[in-house]
Amino acid sequence: MRLGVTSLAGCLALASCVSPVVLDDAVLAYDRALSRVRSEVLLLNVARARAGLPLNATEVTALTAAFEFAAEAEVGGGVAPIGGAAGPTGQLTLGLTTRALEAPTLSIVPLQGEAFTRRLLAPITGTTLEFLHHRGVGVGLLLRLLGQAAVVEGPAGQRVFHRNDPDRGEEFDEFRRRVHHLGALAAAGQLQVGSINRREELRPGPEAGLEAVLGALDRGFHLTSDERGPLLTRHVAGRILISNYDPDLRSEADRRALQARALAYPESFVLVDVEAGGPGGAFPFRGWIKLRSFYEVLAFVARGVDPAWERHVAPHPATLLGRPEPARTLVVSEATTRPDVATVAVELHGRWYWIAPAMPGPGAMDDWNLRAFQVLTDLYHLTTRTAGAAPPVVVPVGPRGG
């Protein structure tokens, strides 16, 4: 009888552990499923662009799930003679039943309208480039994926566009050489990517009252003074600059001149200043990098599904030797059959598209490909976040029990 009571206590203890285990598994399963769906929606849009179809975007904005756990235990016993001579023997029967019920509900938001279209078609800005770079993405990879053209300014001020388009022949080769050089400098820690910081000054006149000074302080100014009297100053972050020197070490006049050059084009043009005499100066670059829109990035990736479209371009002789870059910026494989192994795979009109998993080994470039797809994913999230969101479509997935 003591053994039976002990067994009953163990069963009840086991039942109390069922709900946390089931809940942990469910949360992890939902997280994996949502991550997979987002990647598949992105890849499906690459496939749509490849087929010349309109893009479509949806976001899962909310997931709620109700969990119900129940446990029932039954104990039965009796005394009955067994064998006659041996006397009565006690028998105890135990029963344990557990049940878990799960009812998830998804809120799916179709992205549409003018706000979403503008985000999709608006060129990426230098601020986004800087943000992605400081998340650890290499400059070479970023510029190959986001860059539409390199604008090189000659000694006489003439500007030549070199487009990031394999159909443009020598223009494409020159673009690749330029961004490979920048990427090599960045990998060697000899490239700066950041804003042009300037100092603004306001000197309140004798007629300026306390209200005007307080208003300037609210706008970020700091009150100081010099030999001429009170002075209001603040630091202002300007356009993004890619350079082989630290612009903060230059004079205020130099930084203002850099900002003026950066303002020659819209924010989708990033100023580049690789000076002769500095690191990498044997291949100087004075000009701009023009960035694509997210729609153009998707179109570029879709064209690159053709393995023969992009080609290898040898780096400039002055470029620092480092890890070689792959010929293709982002490899999306295509076939009529489903792949055996893939990081993410989708089907469209009888054809399969997928991102292959990393294959370990010396000289493997697969980590470049996975990082490129991660950059594309980040851009997708930056573009689609609540932009042009229609009212959510609430989908009750339905209860699941066990």
DSSP string, 190-236: --EEEEEEEEEEE---TT--HHHHHHHHHTT-EEEEETTEEEEEEEE
Distance CA 190, CA 28 (A): 42
10 Å CB burial of residue 288 (0-12, 13-18, 19+) is: buried
Query: Which two three-digit tokens encode residue 314?
Result: 């040898």
Where do we find the tokens 């700091």? Answer: 222
- The one-character DSSP state at 277 is T
- The one-character DSSP state at 392 is P
- For 297-326, the three-class secondary structure string (H helix, E strand, C coil) is HHHHHHHCCCCCCCCCCCCCCCCCCCCCCC
**Do the Cβ atoms of 243 and 189 come closer than 8 Å?**
no
Kindly list the domain boundaries of the chain, sorted by start residue: 113-393
**pLDDT given at position 115:** 74
Q: Kindly list the averaged pLDDT for each block of 10 residues, start to end, along the chain of length 402.
A: 51 52 67 82 95 81 63 57 54 61 68 76 94 92 97 94 97 97 95 89 67 69 69 81 95 94 96 96 97 96 97 94 89 96 95 88 68 93 64 49 52
Query: Which two three-digit tokens encode residue 356?
Result: 């292959």
**pLDDT given at position 33:** 77
CA distances from 62 to 36, 115, 284, 387 (A): 16, 21, 50, 16
Q: Which residues pair with 160 in a beta bridge?
A: 152
Measuring CA to CA, which residue among 268, 267, 243 is closest to residue 255? 243
**pLDDT given at position 57:** 72
**pLDDT given at position 326:** 93
Distance CA 288, CA 269 (A): 6
Sequence-distant (≥ 6) Cβ neighbours of residue 402 within 8 angstroms: 22, 99, 100
The angle subtended at Cα 15 by Cα 13 and Cα 16, nearest 5°, is 65
**pLDDT given at position 52:** 93
Distance CA 305, CA 346 (A): 14
User: Strand order of the sheet with strand 351-355?
Assistant: 333-335, 351-355, 344-348
Tell me which long-range contacts 332-340 makes (C-beta under 8 A, separation of at least 24).
332/43, 332/46, 332/301, 332/302, 332/304, 332/305, 333/305, 334/50, 334/305
Measuring CA to CA, which residue among 143, 243, 139 is closest to residue 183? 139
CA distances from 11 to 1, 5, 7, 75, 90 (A): 16, 10, 6, 11, 20
